[in-house]
Amino acid sequence: TINCIAEALLLRAKGGKRGDDTVIDIDIGKKDVQPLQIAMNAGTIAFDAIKQRNNAAAMDETTDIFNPGEAQTISGRVVGVVTRMRDLEQTLIEKVNEANWVTKYGEEESFGVLKGECRFAKTGEESGNTAEEVEKELSEMLKLNPLLRMNRAECLLALFIASVEQPTLEKIGQTVSGGSMIDFVDGDRIEVLGVA
């Protein structure tokens, strides 16, 4: 799931262009792309990853094939995060800005955010940058830095599970394959994100 979200972040940074020159637009911030198309494209990312994993499992005894419940959970989470990505990113930056120690020790990137994003969120254009400049810097860093991309994906998934998945499943009395545990981020990030 995290790898799919990281891939979606990379695709957005590249303007939706995949290595084979196909375009899979997943940027909810673009006015000319419909939300349903973004959801379908996010589903394609998840489907491709599940298919690749299952194909690898067929060749390797040590890798398990995803069962239908696991595949559904992965797909639902990827679609859920991608369709809410801009809102989740805004929440992530707000949470990072609220934790003074993150800025004090320069730990923004461990949450997958840039110092410039945090400054811009606090002061707007008084930070010395425009929204477009901040977005351009983020796109470049997401393309160049896989660790930043992975950290951001983990935090976005954690926020999604805590703020959307868990409350919705609790409300309807359902569960997902593997549960809704947030056990893939460390304690400091759990505390800052408020997803304990």
Q: How far is Cα 55 from Cα 94, in angstroms, rounded to an integer?
A: 40
Above pLDDT 70, what percent of the chain?
99
Q: What is the pLDDT of residue 74?
A: 95
Cross-strand bridge partners of residue 23: 17
Q: Which residue has the tokens 């707000």?
A: 94
Residue 196: band (very low, low, confident or very high) from pLDDT cuts 50, 70, 90: confident
Task: Using CB atoms within 10 Å of the CB of residue 183, give its burial: 0 to 12 exposed, 13 to 18 middle, 19+ buried.
Answer: exposed
Q: What is the pLDDT of residue 141?
A: 97
* Token representation of residue 143: 């393309």
Q: How far is Cα 180 from Cα 161, in angstroms, rounded to an integer?
A: 7
Residue 149: band (very low, low, confident or very high) from pLDDT cuts 50, 70, 90: very high
* Token representation of residue 9: 């972040």
**Contact (Cβ atoms closer than 8 angstroms) between residue 42 and residue 8:** yes
**Contact (Cβ atoms closer than 8 angstroms) between residue 160 and residue 80:** yes
CA-closest candidate to residue 113, choices 73, 154, 171: 154
Q: What is the pLDDT of residue 125?
A: 74
The pLDDT of residue 3 is above 80: yes
For residues 109-120, average pLDDT: 96
The pLDDT of residue 28 is above 80: no
**Contact (Cβ atoms closer than 8 angstroms) between residue 43 and residue 75:** yes
What angle do helix axes 68-83 and 85-98 make, rounded to 10 degrees?
70
Whole-prediction pTM: 0.92
Residue 17: band (very low, low, confident or very high) from pLDDT cuts 50, 70, 90: confident
Residue 134: band (very low, low, confident or very high) from pLDDT cuts 50, 70, 90: very high
Q: How far is Cα 83 from Cα 27, in angstroms, rounded to an integer?
A: 8
Residue 62: band (very low, low, confident or very high) from pLDDT cuts 50, 70, 90: confident
Cβ-based neighbours of 149, under 8 Å, separated by 6 or more: 6, 9, 10, 112, 142
The pLDDT of residue 19 is above 80: no
Longest CA–CA span in the chain (Å) reads 56
Q: Which residue has the higher pLDDT, 22 or 68?
A: 68
DSSP tag of 17: B
DSSP tag of 184: S
Q: What is the pLDDT of residue 76?
A: 95
Cβ-based neighbours of 15, under 8 Å, separated by 6 or more: 23
Q: What is the pLDDT of residue 31?
A: 79
Q: What is the pLDDT of residue 188?
A: 95
The pLDDT of residue 150 is above 90: yes
CA-closest candidate to residue 160, choices 96, 109, 84: 84
